[in-house]
Each structure stands twice: as C-alpha cells, then as structure tokens.
Amino acid sequence: MAERFLVDGRFGNKLPVLHLGQNLPFAPMVKAWARKERMLAKEDLSPDLIPQITTRVLSTRYPAYSVKGGVFDALSATQGVMHGITNDQVYASMDLFQRTEGSDIVPAAGVAVASLEQAVQNGQVRADEAILLNITGGGEKRLSSDKKIPCNEKPRLVSKNITEQEIEELLCPVLKKS
C-alpha cells in the first residue's frame, strides 16, 4: 500500500518506516529481525509458546515473513523495526487507548499501541512525524451491548482484482459523509 501512496504522489516521496509488533514469547518475526535473518528459526515457531500469549490472532506459525515481498523485505525496504510486546504491555495499552480515545480495542490492536509506545520511548519516531496506527476491533464491547445498529447500505462483494478507480468510487461516498 505504501508503494501505491508513492505512485499517487500526494503522500510524500519515501516509504514510511514500518513499526510492527508481536506478542512475546511467541514472536518469531521479532527474533528473526533482531538477527537480521530472512528465515525464521524453528525453535521460535514452537506451538508450546502460543498458549502463553493473549493475541492468538497474531500467532500464525506460517507468517509471510521469509517469502519474496513479505515482511522481511518490507522491513528492509523501510528500515523498519519489530517490537516484542508482553501480555502486561498489551493490557496496559488497551487500557490507555480506552481512556484516551474512548473506545475499547482487541489485544492485537493493543500490540500495535504498545509498539508505538515503544517506538516513541526509544526515540524511533519524532514528534513531527505523521503516524498511521492500525487499530482493529475498536468498540467491540460497545457493539455487543448495543441492541441494534442501523445499516443503510447493502453489503457489497469486492473482487480481489479491483482497480484503484473502483476503490475510490466505493470510498468516496463514505469519505463525503465524514
């Protein structure tokens, strides 16, 4: 997506630095990136580590890390950083987001918030930098407590071969409402 932004021209002329995180102790990409290795170590992919983390959604034993164009290449191209996040940091970040933004988030998003916190604390991002923080699962607790959420639009099927023009046509009505 970052490469599309470069082609677009409205979002700067260099790739954004990626700051990605995984939940310790199951963090095979964090460990491989720390070693600057493309290949993940077998011992870092042990299924015995998965029950020890809160973010099962981030626990794939077959991540797209080593493949050409995968996470290793994306981190290399952007001089990115991988962050290892403990369960305690996940929960603290979820709480922080709830208090500051007013919305609950899922543990995977807590990893993202904690990764941003680490990057700031380590001086890896500057105060004047634009940051895109990908938050998933926001408001699930509230959503489950609401009786009915009105939806005025019918679901749409989107082809994996969608063009950029078709994406803009889909998003423009949404963007005009906000």
Task: Report which secondary-structure segment, H or E, holds 84.
Answer: strand 81-85
CA distance 27 to 36: 14
Report if residue 61 sits inside a domain.
Answer: yes
pTM for the structure as a whole: 0.77
Report if residue 150 sits inside a domain.
Answer: no
pLDDT digits (tens, 9 = 90+) for 118-154: 999 999 998 888 888 989 887 777 776 765 555 556 6
CATH number at residue 99: 3.40.50.1100
Report if residue 81 sits inside a domain.
Answer: yes
Here the tokens at position 73 are 């290449």
Report if residue 164 sits inside a domain.
Answer: no
Report if residue 83 sits inside a domain.
Answer: yes
Report if residue 172 sits inside a domain.
Answer: no
Closest CA to 41 of 98, 33, 145, 163: 33
Question: What residues make up the domain containing 81?
Answer: 2-145
pLDDT digits (tens, 9 = 90+) for 25-80: 999 999 999 999 999 999 999 999 999 999 988 899 999 999 999 999 999 999 99
Phi, psi (deg, nearest 5) at residue 133: -110, 115
